Amino acid sequence: MKPLEVCILAAGLGTRMKSDRPKALQLLAGRPLLAHQLDEIARLRPTRVHAVIGQGADMIRDAFSDNDAIHWVLQEERLGTGHAMMQALPHVSDNANVLVILGDIPLISVETMQRLVQSEADLTVLSVLLEDPSGYGRIVREESGQVLRIVEQRDADDREQAIKEINTGLMFTSATLMSGWLSRLNRDNDQNEYLLTDLVGLANDDQQSVEALLADNPLEVTGINSRQQLAAVERDLQERIASDLMSQGVQLADPERIDVRGELKVGRDVFIDVGCVFEGRCQIEDGVSIGPYCVIRDSLIGQETVIKSHTVLDGATVSSECSVGPYARLRPEARLEAGAAIGNFVEVKKSVVGAGSKASHLAYLGDSTIGEGVNIGAGTITCNYDGVNKHQTHIGDGVFVGSNTSLVAPVSVEDGANIGAGSVITTDVPSQSLAIGRGRQRNIEGWATRKKNG
Ligand code: UD1
Ligand code: CA
């Protein structure tokens, strides 16, 4: 078997996106278009992957700087898909087969690519039947079915425009054949560009065998040229993700109102209400219930936990049987142990909240360790920042922190201690003691009447 090299053509201007960002970096389900393709291509195990880039080349290279499997090729002047391929081919070894993929069809699957690279024809293109073929290159076949050529929409006559079989832009051939055809391309078309699609006609002129394989899923091969197409593909993809989640036992209040931008692992009997967004890598264990309009990023949610509406989790670990929200915010390195409860307008950052502990209303817990069975009163603040450095707060097991307490870190409140409401705690509180740190109340008798009488 010949080695397989893949060429991705992604140097185009993407003019129709009206963006300062190259098309390859436009986001679909939270990830660059190119990233979607690269994942599937990697599963094909090619010998090499070349990516032709042009507009925003530096931005693209930066975005994929941790992927050293890509060989970048610069197309300085963009004279069409054929011209892009002319830049890549010198880097492909002579004895290889070449699979060409246009950079703007992000959802192509490895299975479809596999079908293509198994083709025995001299030149194989991937086509698909579309109800509305407008904008695409049409596959022109002879009556016998033999593929004759591909004609771009703008070069097509009325009869050709009516053809519903279109070119997806995937092409498979050998490096040697490709090289011969590329040297004969011209710019004799409406766009004044070297069109890769003209290879089909050239192969026919040479009496080489040409095949067009039909893709069975149009979503997989939808080209993204405009914001409208990007949004449409996003919806299709989200629908597919929602359906996968339901197949795994998740109940979605409305499969059309969930967005997953990353990897979401789920257990059984998970319920997700409307308007939730999941980003990065999230894991949700069995029996979790998530209320409406939550944003959950890079977090783990343990069994039977309830996340109430409008809660934001970012880099948090929530153990089993916890209750979070409504309107709670768990920031990176927040960890709730089993049965902990975090209520409305409570922010937790870089802190561990022990088993069964509660902070039910209006609090900030940062850089702290909180033991088991602790009650944090409303309005409690860990003052973790002195303007220069961050400091730790330690709260032992069974501590009761009265409302509106400021804990000025570094400070430690030992097991079983109580803190009176409104205290400013600046020194450590011993175990089982009561700390009160506030101005003593003074009542002045008759003060109001005296004031009135002047
Ligand atoms: C192309 C095909 C068309 C097909 C459609 C499928 C050609 C001539 N036309 O049309 O038959 O139906 O895709 O979606 O191939 N690119 C470069 N360098 C260039 C020009 C383009 O790298 O000089 C890249 C673009 O970045 C893009 C891809 O090639 O990723 C396709 O270019 P685009 O302009 O989007 O072609 P379409 O008009 O969509
Ligand atoms: Ca396109």
Q: What is the pLDDT of residue 197?
A: 97
Asked if residue 429 has pLDDT above 80, the reply is: yes
Q: What is the mean pLDDT of the chain?
A: 97
Q: Stretch 89-112: mean pLDDT, rounded?
A: 97
Residues catalogued as catalytic: 361
Could you give the percent of the chain with pLDDT greater than 70? 100
Q: Stretch 135-147: mean pLDDT, rounded?
A: 95
The region that residue 128 occupies, defined by phi over 0 for left and psi between -120 and 50 for alpha, beta otherwise, is beta
Q: Could you tell me where the DSSP H helices lie in 322-380?
A: none
Q: Could you tell me where the DSSP H helices lie in 7-68?
A: 33-43, 57-63
Q: Stretch 429-435: mean pLDDT, rounded?
A: 98
**Shortest-distance Cα residue to atom 31 of ligand 1:** 102
CA separation for the pair 218, 381 (Å, rounded): 55
CA separation for the pair 65, 51 (Å, rounded): 13
List pLDDT tens digits, range 293-352: 999 999 999 999 999 999 999 999 999 999 999 999 999 999 999 999 999 999 999 999
Q: Stretch 158-184: mean pLDDT, rounded?
A: 98
| 341-349/358-366 β-pairing | parallel
Domains for the chain: give ranges and CATH numbers.
4-221 (3.90.550.10), 227-435 (2.160.10.10)
DSSP state of 122: S
Q: Taking CB atoms and a 6 Å cutoff, what residues make up the pocket around ligand 1?
A: 9-12, 52, 75, 78-81, 83-84, 102-105, 136-137, 150, 152, 166-169, 195-197, 223, 225
Asked if residue 454 has pLDDT above 70, the reply is: no
Asked if residue 450 has pLDDT above 90, the reply is: no
Separation of 100 CA from ligand 1 center, angstroms? 11
Alpha-carbon 21 to chain mean position: 17
Ligand 1 pocket test: pick from 8, 50, 81, 150 the residue with the most ligand atoms within 8 Å of its Cβ. 81
What pTM value is reported for the model?
0.92
Alpha-carbon 449 to chain mean position: 67
Lowest mean pLDDT among 16-25, 120-129, 174-183: 16-25
Q: What is the pLDDT of residue 222?
A: 92
List pLDDT tens digits, range 62-80: 999 999 999 999 999 999 9
Asked if residue 408 has pLDDT above 80, the reply is: yes
Tokens 């893949």 map to which residue? 6
Q: Place 13 in a pLDDT band, splitting at 50, 70 and 90.
A: confident
